[in-house]
Amino acid sequence: MQLPEAGLASRVMRVVTPQSAEPDDPALREAARVLDAGGVVALPTETVYGLCCRSAFKDAVARIFEIKDRPPEKRLPFLVPDASRLADFTNDPPPRAVRLARRWWPGPLTLVVGPDPESVAVRVPETAVTRTVLRLAGGPVHGTSANLSGHEAATDAPSVVRAFSGRAAPDLVVDGGACKVGRESTLVRVAPDATTSIIRIGALAPTDLLPEIAAKILVVCTGNTCRSPMAAALLKRALASALHVSEDGLLERGIDVSSAGVSAFDGDPASSGARRAAARRGLSLEAHVSRSITGLTLDDYECVFGLTPEHVSALRRRFNVARADTLDPDGRGVADPFGGGDDDYEAAARDIEAAVARRLPTLLRLALPK
């Protein structure tokens, strides 16, 4: 297959129209062949059309920069056929990234993962014909919007042809019709330490992302009726105060705090001693309902804190939570006040307050920027 050399304008672009999303569709097989021969293909997605090439071909990558007149410091994202490929780009994806991928892939979300300066942008497009091409291709595929840098991205095949007519151009355009969304994907960076930022607002608004983008913090004790409910309430207030929001506004800043017990029964109220200790601090545990840790998807949590070293040991051994740690950064535990008097609950609450104060600076880094 003869492909244009880098630096030469391709004045005639071939356009093919798939009849299905099946792997034996001739147009899709042709698109994969062009990619595997080092060519550049314009593929449809639900957001905009993308200029695509195999990442293994340096000349093809250079041609995309030439075709788009893209600044050389802006690296090219990857398009992948399914969410399992996220593991190809990062060994230990943060829970935030996993949750976002689970909810929005395939879809109009691009995730930036991995440590800087080696971080990469990855997306699973919704458009079935393009996912088929990505599966047929012999290796990873770059994909970036089909437009000259600074110009509006093409949202149908004729727009791709018009944008690059008479200049450097892709070798092949796969006509998948008009893009359903017609706006570029939202771009979210999730760093290895789980700090997160929305780099570009596109098809998805920040409010669309909040349920998955919020850092989930879990505080764990034994029965989830005394220490962990107090700890969750005190931690929420401390975070809200530091972020200058109400406790109900924590989710908008990307923080979700809850509690559970390693040996809890679901449905029990907070103990009367815990309720009184909370009330003396202007907090209410009246609505608290205990829950067992066994019903939770623990991989979804950025932070899992035990109230004692024994809780941490149980979390690691019984529940395989390798990142579990004590709420107190120095490893000190909080004595169980259950069955004791108000003095015991006061002592526990004071120890929790001290642990929260020491842990707070680290947890604040998980909040989304304003």
- Catalytically active residues, by annotation: 221, 227, 336
Q: What is the dihedral of CA 124, 127, 133, 138, to 10 degrees?
A: 0
Q: Which residue has the tokens 């990142």?
A: 323
**CA-based radius of gyration for the chain:** 26
Chain centre to alpha carbon of residue 44: 23
For residues 354 and 247, what is the distance between their CA atoms, to the nearest angstrom? 20
For residues 229 and 285, what is the distance between their CA atoms, to the nearest angstrom? 7
- Cα separations in angstroms, 193 against 66, 108, 138, 342: 35, 24, 32, 39
Element (H, E) at 188: strand 186-190
Residue 304 burial class via C-beta count within 10 angstroms: exposed 0-12, middle 13-18, buried 19 and up: buried
Contact (Cβ atoms closer than 8 angstroms) between residue 260 and residue 296: yes
